Amino acid sequence: MSQLAVWIVGAAGHVGTCTLAGWAALRAGLMPPTGLVTVGDPLGALPLAGFDEVAFGGHELRERSLAEAARALVAEGILPAAVVEHPAVAAAVAAAQAELRPGIAGSGGWDELQRIRADLAGFRDRHGAARVVVLNVASTEADPPDVRDAGALPDEPEALLAAVQGGRRLPASSVYAAAALDLGMAYVNFTPSTGADLPGLDALARARGAVHAGADGKTGQTLVKTVLAPMFAVRRLRVQSWVSHNILGNEDGRALDDPGRRAAKQRSKAAPLAAILGYAPESRVGIDYVPSYGDWKLAWDRIVFEGFGGAQMSLELTWRGSDTALAAPLCIDLIRLVELAQRRGERGALHHLALFFKSPLGTAEHRLERQWQTLLAHLLPDEAA
Amino acid sequence: MSQLAVWIVGAAGHVGTCTLAGWAALRAGLMPPTGLVTVGDPLGALPLAGFDEVAFGGHELRERSLAEAARALVAEGILPAAVVEHPAVAAAVAAAQAELRPGIAGSGGWDELQRIRADLAGFRDRHGAARVVVLNVASTEADPPDVRDAGALPDEPEALLAAVQGGRRLPASSVYAAAALDLGMAYVNFTPSTGADLPGLDALARARGAVHAGADGKTGQTLVKTVLAPMFAVRRLRVQSWVSHNILGNEDGRALDDPGRRAAKQRSKAAPLAAILGYAPESRVGIDYVPSYGDWKLAWDRIVFEGFGGAQMSLELTWRGSDTALAAPLCIDLIRLVELAQRRGERGALHHLALFFKSPLGTAEHRLERQWQTLLAHLLPDEAA
Amino acid sequence: MSQLAVWIVGAAGHVGTCTLAGWAALRAGLMPPTGLVTVGDPLGALPLAGFDEVAFGGHELRERSLAEAARALVAEGILPAAVVEHPAVAAAVAAAQAELRPGIAGSGGWDELQRIRADLAGFRDRHGAARVVVLNVASTEADPPDVRDAGALPDEPEALLAAVQGGRRLPASSVYAAAALDLGMAYVNFTPSTGADLPGLDALARARGAVHAGADGKTGQTLVKTVLAPMFAVRRLRVQSWVSHNILGNEDGRALDDPGRRAAKQRSKAAPLAAILGYAPESRVGIDYVPSYGDWKLAWDRIVFEGFGGAQMSLELTWRGSDTALAAPLCIDLIRLVELAQRRGERGALHHLALFFKSPLGTAEHRLERQWQTLLAHLLPDEAA
Amino acid sequence: MSQLAVWIVGAAGHVGTCTLAGWAALRAGLMPPTGLVTVGDPLGALPLAGFDEVAFGGHELRERSLAEAARALVAEGILPAAVVEHPAVAAAVAAAQAELRPGIAGSGGWDELQRIRADLAGFRDRHGAARVVVLNVASTEADPPDVRDAGALPDEPEALLAAVQGGRRLPASSVYAAAALDLGMAYVNFTPSTGADLPGLDALARARGAVHAGADGKTGQTLVKTVLAPMFAVRRLRVQSWVSHNILGNEDGRALDDPGRRAAKQRSKAAPLAAILGYAPESRVGIDYVPSYGDWKLAWDRIVFEGFGGAQMSLELTWRGSDTALAAPLCIDLIRLVELAQRRGERGALHHLALFFKSPLGTAEHRLERQWQTLLAHLLPDEAA
C-alpha cells in the first residue's frame, strides 16, 4: 500500500510527464539525481518519501496519451531514449495513464468542484494513500484580476464554498486547489495561475489540516536574477536598466503568446528585482514564442549599472536550458517536501519553500541564498544553528 | 590634526589615484557614493572615519605625477572632468604629491625595509596621525613560490626580521607589509602579491597590535562567479566546464601579459569555483592584453552545466566595466573598515572582510551572500541576530 | 556663392544636428572621416561636392535650438566637446539656426505644401544655390497604409498635385518630398516614412529633373543582417529562426514606442531577411524603449540554423553603437552622392544607392557586398569592369 | 565500374567518417543536402559526379574502426542514429573499412612516399577508377617553417623527388600530396598543414595533369569573419581590436592544445582580417581545449570599432556548431568540384575554390561574397555574365 500518491494537473504536458517518468527513472536508478535539491548532502538526511511505490494520476485536457507525451520528451532532447523506453518507466507511464481524468478549462463552479473532488477522493481511495499531493503544472491561466481584488471573495472557507455553491465561479487552478485542500490534501502551484493564493483557500487549508506551496517555479531567468540582483545590492552598484527577453517554443510559450496570460507571467517575473534592489530600475520582460525552439528556452538579459564616478557598466547574459528538465526535478523536490510538511502536521502556506518559486507565498524574500538558508533552518534547525 | 592617514603603495596608478581623488570628491560632495559598501544602510550606521581631514601619501616607481595620473582618469572615462578639475580634488592631489616617495621593485632586504619604515614613520609623524592604513595597489608581482613554501621563512616575527637583517630578501609587497605592521599600522593588500600573507608577518601584526586584510580585490568576473556558483551548488546542477576570458588594456593588463605574473592572478581567480561547488569542473582563465581597451575590462564567461536527464545547458556572460572604478570604492571601504578594526583593538588578519577579496585570508568562504552576512554579524551583531 | 545647399527636415534632432555639425567639423579638419564611404579610396576620386561652403537650413517642430541640440550630442557621448565647441562648428550651427523654419506634423494639404515650397525656394534663393538637397531625418511617422494602396492616389504628377489642391492630405514626409521635387531639388528619405515613395511623386521627380533616394538608413542591426544572411544563403545552411531585439533610448526610440510607428519600422527591418535567404524563417523584431540608453543603441540577434545531419547550430550577436554617429556619416555621403547624380542629369529614384538603405527604392537587392558593387559599377564603371 | 574513387587521409576521424557516411546517406536519400553548395540552384546544374557508385578508402593512424567512428558521430550528436545505423550507410562504412591502410605520422621520406604511392595506385586499380580524389582531413601538423623557406626545397618537380630520394624528409601531409599528384590524382587539403603548398608540388601537379585545392576549411569563426570584415571595410568603420576565442573538445582541439600546431592554426585564422581590412587591428586568436565540449565548437569574437566622432562601438558574437557537421558537406562539395576540374582538364592549384578555405591558394581574396562570385564566374560563366 502506497503511503504517498501524486496527482498532476496537466499530467500529459512536458513537465507533468517528465516529473512522473523522471520519478520512475530515479526509482530504477536509470539516471543520477542531477538538479534535485532533496538528494545528497544536506537535505538527503531528512526522512523524505522514497522513490519507491508512489502512485501517479492526474487531470488532463489534451487528447494525447502519456506514452505519446513521453516520446515527445525524447524527441525534444529532454530525456534520453534509453530512459523513457526502459520497462520500468514505461510501466509507470502506463499506470498513470489508467488514472488520467478529463480536466476543466478556464473556470469552474460548484459542479466542477464536486467532480474534481470526487476524482481526487477516488484516486486516494483506490490506492489507499495516507497522503496525496496535488501538483499544478497546467498551462498558465489568463490573468483574472477580479478574484484577487479585496472583498471579491469571502475570506472564510465555508463562506467561500457557499459562494461557489451559489454560482460564483473560480479560476480552474483554484477549483483544483479548493478540491484538494477541502480533502486535506497538499497542493503545489508550479504556475503563476491563482491556485490556492486566495485568503479563503489558505484558511480552508488551515481548517482541514492541509498545506500548500507556490507560486510559479523559479527555473531559469528569474533564478539567475535572484542571485545577481543581490550582488548589485550588496555592492551598492546602481542598476539603471534590466532588460530581459525569453524565447521559447513549447506549449508554455504558445500559451504565453496570449497577451492576458503573458501579463500574469511578466508580473511574476518582474517583481523579484525591485524587491531585492529596494528600488525599481527601468525594466522590460519580453516573451517571444518561436516554435522551432521547442522546449529549449533561451533567456537573454542585459543589465546596465552605474559605478563609482557615474560611468555606465554592463552585464549581459544568455541562459539556454530545457524548460522541462529544469522544472521537473523541482516538482519532485516539492512533492517530497510538502509530503514531509503534511506528515509533520504543518498547515497552510509553506513559507520555507520560497526557494522554489518566482512569487513565493507569504514572504518578500527573493534572494536565493537567503531562501536556501531559510529552508535549511526550517528543515535542519540543528545544523543551521 | 588628522586621526587617520592613508599611505598608498602604487599611488600614481589608476586605482591609487582614483582612491585618493575619489575620497576628496566624496568629501566635497561632487559625486554620489555609488559602489561604496560603507555608506548608507546598514553599514553607514557604524562609527567609521568620515571623509574629512585625511592625509594621503604613498610610494611610487613611475615618473608621472599624480596630477598627470588624475588627468588620465578623465581621458579613460573613469572619472568626470568636472570632478577631477574641481579645486578641492586638485588640492588633495597636490597635497598627496608632496608625500610621494620612491618605491621598491621586485624584492627587498634589510636596507629597503628600513627605508620604507622610515618613510611610513615620517608620514605618520608629520601628520600626527593616530592611525595609518597602508594600501597596496601596486602592479601584481611575479609569483615567488619559494617564500610561501613551508619552512622557507621563520614563523616567529623576531626570527623573520632577523633573517631579513641577515640577508634574506622578501617580495617587495612583503617588505611594505613588514614595515607597516612592525610600526603597528594597518595593511591592506588589494593585489594577489604576497604582502602580509606569511605566517611570520601575521604573527608580527598580532605582536604589534596591527591588523591586515587581503588578498586581491574581488571587483568583476570573480565577483560574478561567487554569486553564480552558489546557484549551481544549491540547485545541484552539475557544472561541467567554466571558461573565462578577460580582455584588458591598462597597466594591470600589461603586467599580466608577463606569464609569471599571470600565473599568480589566474590561480587567485580560479580557486573560488572549486571551493564553492565542492568539485573542480573543467576550467580555463585567460587574460588578453589589448591596449586599446584601456581601463575598460571585458570579462567573458561560458558555463556548461548538466541538468536532469543529462542534457547540457549553458550560461554565457559578458561583463564590461572600468577596472579602476570598480576597485576604488572597495579601497575606500577597506580603508575605513580596517581603521575601525584597529581602533577597536582587533589584531592580525581580518577574516570578516572576505567580501572584498578573491583570495580572502583565513577563510574558505567565497560565497558573496555568506561573506556579506559574516561582515554584518561581525560589525552589527545586534542587527544580524 | 554656394553651389550646394542642404535642407534638413528634423534639423534639431540628433541625426540632423550631427550631420550639419559633422560637416563643419570635417571642413575644419577637426576629426577624421571615419564611417564615410565617399572619402578615401575608391569613391574619393569622384568629383563630389567638397566640404567647403555649403549652407544648411531646415524644418523643425521642436522648441530647442540647434546649439542646445549640439550640446546634447556631447552629453550623450556622440561627438567630443572639443569638436562641438570649436568656433568653426559653432558658427556653422548658428548659421543653420538662422535658416530654421517651423515644420509640419502628421500630415499636410495644399496650404502646407505651398508653405514648405516657399520655405525651400526662399532658402535656395537667399544662398543662390545651384542645387539643393532636402534630407528627411524627422521622427518616423505612423504607418499610413492607405496612401500606398493601389489607386489611392493618382500616379500622374499633375493629377496628384490637383488632388492635394482639392483637399487630399499626404503624410508630412510626402509633403516635404512633393515640395522639394516640384522645385527640382533632390530628396533623400533616411526614415521609413512614406516620403517620395509614391508613384506620383517619382513621376513628379522625373518630370522636374529631380532625383530622390531612400528609404530608412541601414545603420546597425539590419546592416549586419545583410552581410550575415548571404553567408547562410551561400553555404546553404538553413535558417530556422532569427530573433532580433533592439534597445534604444533616444527620441527615435520614444517615437517607436508608439505601436503604429513601430509597425512601420519593424516591416522595414524584417524584409531584407526573406529577400536574401529566398524563404522566410521564423522571425521576430522587437524594439524596447529604455530612456537611460540614450543614443547608444543595443541590438541583439539570435539565429538558429540547421546544419548537415539536421543538428541545430546558432549564432548570437550583440551590436552596440551610437545610433546618431552611425547615421550622420551616411547622411553626409548621401548628400554628396545625390548632388553628384543631380549634377550629372540623372532623374527619379537612384537605385545605385541601395547600400545606404533598409528598404532601397526600386531594387530587391539587400546584400551589402552586391550593393557595394552596384554602387561602384554605377559611379566608377571603368574600375569596376 | 566507378568513375570516381575517394581516398581520405585521416579517414576514421570525425570529418573523414562523416564525409563518407554522409555521402552514403545522401545517396540513400536519408537526409537533405543541408550545407552543400553543390546541390540545388545554381551549382546543381553542373555535370558533377552523382552520389552513386563512389568507392571510399583511406589512410589512418588510429586503432579504431570506421564503425566505431560512425557510432561516435551519433554519440556526439553530429548525425542521427537512424542515418548511421541504416543498412546503406553501414554497408558503405564496411566497404571503406576494407580499404583502410596504415598512415604515416610526422614526416616521411622516400620509403614512405613509395608506400603511399602504392596504396593509392592499388586503390585506383582495384576500383578501376577513372579519377581519384585524395582528401586530407588528418590532424593539423606542427608548423614546419623550414620546408616553406625560400630555397629550402627545389622548385622543380623532378629535383624535388630526387631530393626526397636522396634523404630529404617532407611533412606527412606533403608526402601524401606528392604521392597523389605524381599519380595524376586530385589532392584537397582541408587542414592548415603544408600539403601541396610547396612550389615543387604545384609544379608536379601541372606536370602530371593533376589539380589541387586548399588550405584549411573555412567552417565557422573565420567564415563569419570573412563576411563581417568587409562590412567594416565598405562602411569605413575603423576596427581597433578583434579578439577571438575558440572552445573545442574534439581530437582537433586536443591536437591544437600543442603550441606548435596551435601556431599554424592561429596564423591561418588571423590572416584574412588584415587582408580584408587593409590594415591590421589589434588581434588575438585563442584556442581552449575543453574535452566536455566534444565536437560542438564555441567561437566567441569581440570587435571594437571606431565610428564617426571617434566613439568606440562594439560587436560581439557567439557561434556554436558541430565542427564536423560544418566541415563534412564542404568536403563533399570539394570532392565533386575538384573531380569536375580534373575531368575538364584543369591543372595545378584551383583558385576558384577559395570560398572553401581559410588560406586559399593563389589568391588574396578572402571576402566570402567575392569568392562566391569568382566560383560562379568560373563554373557558370554564362549566368555570371
Q: What is the DSSP secondary-structure string of C98-154?
A: TTEEE---SEE-HHHHHHHHHHHHHHHHHHT-SEEEEEE-SPPPPP-HHHHSTTSS-
Residues of C in contact with D21 (CB under 8 A): none
Predicted confidence (pLDDT) per residue in A285-312, tens digit: 888 999 999 999 999 999 999 999 999 9
CB–CB contact B325 A314 (8 Å)? no
Predicted confidence (pLDDT) per residue in C14-45, tens digit: 999 999 999 999 999 999 999 999 999 999 99
pLDDT at residue A220 above 90?
Answer: no
Chain A residue whose CA is closest to B331: A308
Give the pLDDT of residue D270.
74
C-alpha separations of A170 from A149, A325, A348, B242, D23 in Å: 13, 31, 20, 48, 60
Q: What are phi and psi of A362, to 5 degrees?
A: 75, 15
Sequence-separated (6 or more) residues with CB below 8 Å from residue D254: D289, D291
Instruction: Flag the least confident range among B20-29, B206-215, D285-294, D336-345.
Output: D285-294
Residues of A in contact with C240 (CB under 8 A): 292
CA pair distance C200, C181, nearest whole angstrom: 11
Q: What are phi and psi of D24, to 5 degrees?
A: -65, -35
Q: What value does the mean pLDDT take over residues D364-375?
A: 96
Interface size, chain A vs chain C, as Cβ–Cβ contacts under 8 Å = 49
Sequence-separated (6 or more) residues with CB below 8 Å from residue C328: C15, C18, C19, C22, C35, D308
Instruction: Determine the length of chain B.
Output: 385
**Gap from C237 CA to chain D (nearest CA, Å):** 5
Give the pLDDT of residue C1.
38
Residues of B in contact with D241 (CB under 8 A): 247, 290, 292-293
CB–CB contact A231 B83 (8 Å)? no
pLDDT at residue D300 above 80?
Answer: yes
Residues of B in contact with A369 (CB under 8 A): 230, 234, 367, 369-370
DSSP B280: -
Q: How is residue C104 written as a grid cell?
A: 509640419
Higher pLDDT, C148 or A202: A202
CA pair distance C18, C25, nearest whole angstrom: 10
Q: Please give the single-letter amino acid code of residue A203.
A: A
Number of neighbouring beta carbons within 10 Å of residue A55: 21
Tell me which residues of chain B have a pLDDT lower than 70: 1-2, 145, 384-385
Nearest by Cα to D26 from D327, D337, D295, D333: D333
Looking only at the bridges linking them, the beta strands covering C55-60 and C100-102 are parallel
ipTM of the complex as predicted: 0.95
Give the pLDDT of residue A385.
52
CA pair distance C174, C104, nearest whole angstrom: 11
C-alpha separations of C88 from B86, C67, C85 in Å: 29, 13, 8
Residues pairing with C321 in the sheet: C297
Quote the pTM value.
0.94
Give the pLDDT of residue C208.
97
Considering CB atoms only, which of C282, C292, C318 is closest to A291? C282
pLDDT at residue C91 above 90?
Answer: yes
Torsion-angle region of C348 (φ positive above 0: left; ψ -120 to 50: alpha; else: beta): left
Describe the crossing of helices C199-208 and C172-182 by its angle, rounded to 10 degrees: 20
Q: How is residue C342 written as a grid cell?
A: 543631380
CB–CB contact B302 D298 (8 Å)? yes
Q: How is residue B292 written as a grid cell?
A: 586599446
pLDDT at residue A184 above 90?
Answer: yes
DSSP A153: S
Predicted confidence (pLDDT) per residue in A51-90, tens digit: 987 999 999 999 899 999 999 999 999 999 999 999 999 9
Task: Write the burial class of residue C67 (CB in 10 Å: 0-12 exposed, 13-18 middle, 19+ buried).
Answer: middle
DSSP-based three-state secondary structure for A149: coil
Higher pLDDT, D268 or C155: C155
Give the pLDDT of residue B271.
81
Using CB atoms, list chains with 3+ pairs below 8 Å to chain B: A, D
Predicted confidence (pLDDT) per residue in A79-112, tens digit: 999 999 999 999 999 999 999 999 999 999 999 9
How large a percentage of chain D has pLDDT more than 70?
Answer: 99
Predicted confidence (pLDDT) per residue in A305-358, tens digit: 999 999 999 999 999 999 999 999 999 999 999 999 999 999 999 999 999 999
Predicted confidence (pLDDT) per residue in C269-311, tens digit: 778 899 999 999 999 988 899 999 999 999 999 999 999 999 9
Residues of C in contact with D325 (CB under 8 A): 307-309, 311, 313
Q: How is residue B382 written as a grid cell?
A: 545586534
Higher pLDDT, A383 or B28: B28
Predicted confidence (pLDDT) per residue in A366-380, tens digit: 999 999 999 999 999
Element housing D285 (H / E)? strand D282-289
Give the pLDDT of residue C176.
98
As a whole number of Å, the end-to-end CA separation of chain A is: 38
Using CB atoms, list chains with 3+ pairs below 8 Å to chain D: B, C
Nearest by Cα to A22 from A100, A88, A77, A76: A88
CA pair distance D360, D253, nearest whole angstrom: 22
CA pair distance A215, A165, nearest whole angstrom: 26
**Gap from C191 CA to chain A (nearest CA, Å):** 26
Q: What value does the mean pLDDT take over residues D32-38?
A: 97
Instruction: Flag the least confident range among A113-122, C112-121, C242-251.
Output: C242-251
Give the pLDDT of residue A10.
97
DSSP-based three-state secondary structure for A239: strand
Q: Name the pLDDT band for A1 (thresholds 50, 70, 90).
A: very low
Residues of C in contact with D29 (CB under 8 A): none
Give the pLDDT of residue D3.
87
Chain A residue whose CA is closest to B231: A227
Task: Write the burial class of residue C175 (CB in 10 Å: 0-12 exposed, 13-18 middle, 19+ buried).
Answer: buried
**Gap from A76 CA to chain C (nearest CA, Å):** 12
Sign of the CA dihedral with B197 first, then B201, B203, and B209 last: negative
Predicted confidence (pLDDT) per residue in C236-251, tens digit: 999 999 999 999 998 7
The answer to whether the CB of B25 falls within 8 A of the CB of B79 is: yes
CA pair distance A19, A13, nearest whole angstrom: 10
CB–CB contact C80 D322 (8 Å)? no
Give the pLDDT of residue D143.
73
Chain A residue whose CA is closest to C287: A286
Q: Name the pLDDT band for A232 (thresholds 50, 70, 90).
A: very high
What is the pLDDT of chain A when averaged over all its residues?
Answer: 94
pLDDT at residue C2 above 60?
Answer: no
**Gap from D197 CA to chain C (nearest CA, Å):** 25
Instruction: Flag the least confident range among A252-256, C290-294, C342-346.
Output: A252-256
Give the pLDDT of residue B1.
38
Element housing B203 (H / E)? helix B199-208
Give the pLDDT of residue A253.
77
CB–CB contact C318 D320 (8 Å)? no
Q: Please give the single-letter amino acid code of residue A86.
A: H
Considering CB atoms only, which of C35, C36, C307 is closest to D35? C307
Q: What value does the mean pLDDT take over residues C68-88?
A: 96
Predicted confidence (pLDDT) per residue in A10-32, tens digit: 999 999 999 999 999 999 999 99
CA C114 to chain centre: 24
* 3-class secondary structure per residue, D96-152: HHCCEEECCCCEECHHHHHHHHHHHHHHHHHHCCCEEEEEECCCCCCCCHHHHCCCC
Give the pLDDT of residue D384.
60
pLDDT at residue A267 above 80?
Answer: no
Mutate to test the interface with B, among A14, A235, A295 (most CBs of B within 10 A): A235
CB–CB contact A286 C291 (8 Å)? no
